[in-house]
Amino acid sequence: MALIDIQVPDIGDFDEVAVIEVLVQTGDTIRAEQSLVTVESDKASMEIPSSHAGKVKELKVKLGDKVRQGSVLLTLEAEESAAAPAPASAPAAAPSEPKQAPAPAAQAPAAPEAEASRFSGSADLECDVLVLGGGPGGYSAAFRAADLGLKVVLVERYATLGGVCLNVGCIPSKALLHVAAVMDEVSHLKAAGIDFGAPQVNIDTLRGHKDKVVGKLTGGLAQMAKMRKVTTVRGYGSFVGANHLEVEETSGDGQDRAGGKKTIAFQRAIIAAGSQAVRLPFMPDDPRVVDSTGALALKEVPKRMLILGGGIIGLEMGTVYSTLGARLDVVEMLDGLMQGADRDLVKVWQKMNAHRFDNVMLKTKTVGAEATPEGIKVSFAPEEEGGSAPEPQVYDLVLQAVGRTPNGKKIAAEKAGVAVTDRGFIDVDIQMRTNVPHIFAIGDIVGQPMLAHKAVHEAHVAAEVIAGELQGNQELAAAAFNARVIPSVAYTDPEIAWVGLTEEQAKAQGIKVKKGLFPWAASGRAIANGRDEGFTKLLFDDSPEAHGHGRILGGGIVGMHAGDMIGEIALAIEMGADSVDIGKTIHPHPTLGESIGMAAEVAHGSCTDVPPQRK
């Protein structure tokens, strides 16, 4: 093992370029040709690959550093053998040899290494790719792999595909949030001379509407799996070796064991087993205590509801129940709701939604709960010494929304040699490869942010890498998760959406930014909608090196349809746009989307829809 310096190679006409992304960390095991940093000149950005494989001993550059040909990026403990492609581990009884061996795993799992079990039985099914879990990650991986010509088996324990997102997450919550938003909107029309009177809520019909929405989508997935000749196997999957999965067949609506078993042999596997809601240990087992799945079941509308945890999922469900008639309390250990979003965005939502809440308990923890005939009696304590907390309160419904935990420890991953962290996550490299080179993992099970669009993106990467390796297609085999940003959205009313760097992060990291903020009070469309409480803000690089033409680093929107608009800001970040690029892009008028162009013009100093800006 030799220590070598990895240097910037010949980068053409560029004399000096800035490091805008560091893609590896000290301790990472990397492949030859793996991207190490992204650099950017005033004309283009490019990734610089490693000339050798090995372990990163010391990083020599950080964000913002200027480098040129010959600059040392890092010191590597180079492994001769790792620089050349190595064969995949192919234990006995593997279905058939891959057409092309994969490159070795390029990552440093934080979890302890596990040794794979040897499986010597026979298999009922054989495939190129086994996908474990039929959520957005799993079905997208299966479909992409099938579209690329691979033989795919998809294992899902529940009766329908779609996972948490389609069945008990993104989709049913948005079906209900849409109804709630329309109800709220209609109630505001009274001021415009239209009075529909008080709403009559039929909870059974509303539940039926939500179920119909879900059924339409999950039914569509089953059809698409058939059209692609993806074999779906219903049952609970556990690894029994590095190339075998055993499936205990399940039946009914849930995951009741039906008695039968199937063994599937695979060349490659993609683990997409997702996550589940965290349950607090002291919460009584009582139908009045629910997680998000229980809340979405929409059994009845409580009078008093406690949301435990002030994150997006809890507040979205709270919005629905409140519009249907519940009074809300929320308890959160941290000092603000919707952590992660800039406070100025959250403030607008909080002001508009104050009427829904009796108590917003911040820096407060829940310390006990008891089921009583009157309701669930919940006790609170201050998070900090010397703080105060309310007396115990009684609720008709308590929603536990304190986070989600990955399912990594429930699939016997160790029998395949796959390392799982103490918390149940599976570490992967940027190609979504686990510590076992022919097994990949995607979605909630590999880490935050636990979002469906991240899972789908990762799914395509894993499927493409596998197809590339099995079919000898170098371009596909080089696929990697290179997205710069992943947008976040709270589908509350108003919606809050943000992407890339936040103002708080910029401050904490000492990054100088120029802000362009366009208040919707100046937006013709927002005023016409009677909803001008929001704003759009963009953050541009304002470091001296940017010479006043810095690229966009982040942005946030609060207001109606913020979630539908944030994609434009994500695209601008991916494309490295500056304020002129965005401001000079003609946006249609009058739309809420033009607030993005106008925020860019504000940053540039050329916006004519706001009062004259001071120079």
User: Among residues 324 and 455, whose Cβ is nearest to ligand FAD?
Assistant: 455
DSSP output for 459-486: HHHHHHHHHHHHHT-HHHHT-----S--
| Residue numbers at the binding site for ligand FAD (CB under 6 A) | 132-138, 155-158, 163-165, 169-170, 173, 236-237, 272-275, 292, 313, 407, 410-411, 443-444, 450-453, 455, 491
Of residues 435 and 492, the one with the C-beta less far from ligand FAD = 492
Q: What CA–CA distance (Å, rounded) separates 569 from 557?
A: 10
Report the nearest approach of ligand FAD to the CB of residue 47 (Å).
27
Min separation Cβ 487 and ligand FAD, Å: 9
Q: Given 3-state DSSP classes, what are the helix, strand and coil percentages for the chain, each rounded to the nearest 5?
A: 30, 30, 40
What is the Cα–Cα distance from 132 to 269, expressed in whole angstroms? 8
Closest distance of CB 323 from ligand FAD, Å: 16
Would you name the residues annotated as active-site residues? 589
State the DSSP code for 87.
P
CA 170 to centroid of chain Cα atoms: 12
Q: How far is the CB of 486 from ligand FAD (least distance, A)?
A: 9
User: Residue 53 or 247: which CB sits closer to ligand FAD?
Assistant: 247
- Rounded-to-integer distance, Cα 217 and Cα 382, Å: 44
**Residue whose CB is less far from ligand FAD, 6 or 130:** 130
- The two tokens of residue 207 are 């539940």
Closest by CA to 96, choosing from 265, 257, 242, is 265
CB closer to ligand FAD, 156 vs 503? 156
Least distance to ligand FAD, CB of residue 451, Å: 4
When the beta carbons of 137 and 516 are compared against ligand FAD, the nearer one is 137
For 447-458, b/e burial (b = at least 16 CB within 10 A) is beebbbbbbbbb
Task: Tell me how far CA of residue 434 lies from CA of 108, 190, 370, in angstroms.
Answer: 9, 57, 43
Q: Which is nearer to ligand FAD, 95 or 314 (CB)?
A: 314
Q: 78 is written with which tokens?
A: 């180079």
Cα separation of 319 and 327, whole Å?
10
Query: What is the rounded CA–CA span in Å between residue 113 and residue 596?
Result: 47
Among 297, 310, 292, 302, which residue's Cα sits nearest to residue 397? 302
Identify whether the C-beta of residue 587 lies closer than 8 Å to the C-beta of residue 594: yes
> Under 8 Å CB-to-CB from 21, ≥6 apart: which residues?
37, 38, 63, 484
Q: Shortest gap between Cβ of 136 and ligand FAD (angstroms)? A: 5
- In angstroms, give the least distance from the CB of 160 to ligand FAD: 8
